[in-house]
Amino acid sequence: MALAFALVLAILALSGCGGRGGVGPPPLPGQSETSPGADPVGLEVYGDSLTVADSPSFQAGMTGPRSWAHHLPPHGMRMEAGSGRWGATAGDILAQHLRPGVQADLLVLFLGTNDLAAAGPADDAGLARRHEDFIGSLDRIVERRGYPPERVVVVAVGPRNGGAAAPVERWNSLTHRAAADRGWQLLDPWPRLRTSGNRYADPSLTTDGLHLDTAGAERLAAGMAAGIRRLATPGAGETAG
């Protein structure tokens, strides 16, 4: 799957598809993220409060410093288009927030936190049913946006201080399986921020135990960019954790 992702990004570089001409792949490990003349990798992003954060107008591209999308340019990436809102589920994005008429190099779906919040404990059948609804909404988002599966990046649910780890672990495991079945890429950008118990390693990087401050958003942006570069490296696939 990682090889297919690398090939798609190489094709983008040669053909200029994906909405912008001459778009190249993300820099690989050991390469500069800001090589002279390199076009940034464009992302179409949909998310909830962890993505929108304090953005004055996320849909208009006016991101705030507590949004990880605000900190992409130093990593050779940028948000080409996006939408979302605080409290959004995948179904909410599908119903109200898609952006027709634009397409970037990658479709990034940074969702699931609010879907999981309504799902119940890890051993409850309600979690599985809620996850099926979540994946069904993602299926329809991908279909409506028209991206091939190898250019779809689904982001794992991250840490939350005061929350149980088991439901998050089960949710991410189910998402990993569903993504693999569909040929999507699953990205876990959280290792730089998370403990083994799914807590924030440094609570001072959050405003309330869930949402990030500016320093936390910068660290998450670095994790997002590093994860995308790993996905683009043959033999270095990403898993949920």
pTM score, whole prediction: 0.84
Q: In the predicted model, what is the mean pLDDT of residues 160-186? A: 95
Query: Regarding the domain with residue range 2-28+39-231, which homologous superfamily does it belong to in the CATH classification?
Result: SGNH hydrolase (3.40.50.1110)
The distance between the two most distant Cα atoms of the chain, rounded to a whole number of Å, is 52
Note whether 76 and 225 are within 8 A (CB): yes
Q: In the predicted model, what is the mean pLDDT of residues 27-48? A: 67
Buried b (16+ CB within 10 A) or exposed e, 129-165: ebbeebbebbebbbeebebebbbbbbbbbbbbeebeb
Note whether 157 and 109 are within 8 A (CB): no
How many Å from the N-terminal Cα to the C-terminal Cα in the chain? 18
Q: In the predicted model, what is the mean pLDDT of residues 3-14? A: 47
Q: What is the pLDDT of residues 85-131, one digit of tens each?
A: 999 999 999 999 998 888 899 999 999 999 999 887 777 888 999 99
Q: Among residues 110, 116, 148, 156, which one has the least CA distance to residue 132? A: 116
The count of C-alpha atoms lying within 13 angstroms of the C-alpha of 120, restricted to the half-sphere facing its C-beta, is 9
Tally of CB atoms within 10 A around 166: 13
Q: What is the pLDDT of residues 116-125, one digit of tens each?
A: 998 877 778 8
Sequence spans of domains, the chain:
2-28+39-231
Of 160 and 32, the one with more pLDDT? 160
Q: In the predicted model, what is the mean pLDDT of residues 196-221? A: 95
Q: What is the pLDDT of residues 57-70, one digit of tens each?
A: 999 999 999 999 99
Is the per-residue pLDDT at 12 higher than 60?
Answer: no
Looking at the DSSP assignment, which residues form a beta bridge with residue 79?
A: 43
